[in-house]
Amino acid sequence: MVGLEPSGKLQLPPRLVCDNTVSMKRRTLITKKRRGPAPTGKGTLIGVRIQPDDLAVLDSWITGDGRGLTRPQAIRRLIEQAKGK
């Protein structure tokens, strides 16, 4: 039977009381390192498909340039040349 103690507290029968406490370890969040420079978030990303013959021309320009540029860097350089920089 559930009743009040003289102090005014509710006393439950032992069969109704359950005190299971589970302590869990804290997990630390480890971020995975990304390769390359941090993204700037500036500019518009453009995905372009280039046909094999045009890609061969781009790769030969990269080789002839001698700076060891990546394809995206080479495309940026070609755009700068087209602008007259």
Quote the pLDDT of residue 83: 93
Do 50 and 58 form a contact (C-beta atoms < 8 A)?
yes
Q: Which residues contact 5 (CB under 8 A, 6 or more apart)?
A: 11
Residue 82 structural domain: 52-85
Residue 66 domain-assigned (yes or no): yes
Residue 77 domain-assigned (yes or no): yes
Residue 27 domain-assigned (yes or no): no
Domain count, the chain: 1
Residue 13 domain-assigned (yes or no): no
Beta strands, E only, 1-85: 3-4, 10-11
Dig out the tokens for 52 from the structure. 């094999």
Distance CA 19, CA 52 (A): 70
pLDDT tens string 14-56: 666 666 677 777 777 777 777 877 777 778 888 899 999 999 9
Backbone angles phi, psi at 61, to 5 degrees: -65, -40
Residue 84 domain-assigned (yes or no): yes
Residue 76 domain-assigned (yes or no): yes
What pLDDT band is residue 72 in, cutting at 50, 70 and 90?
Answer: very high
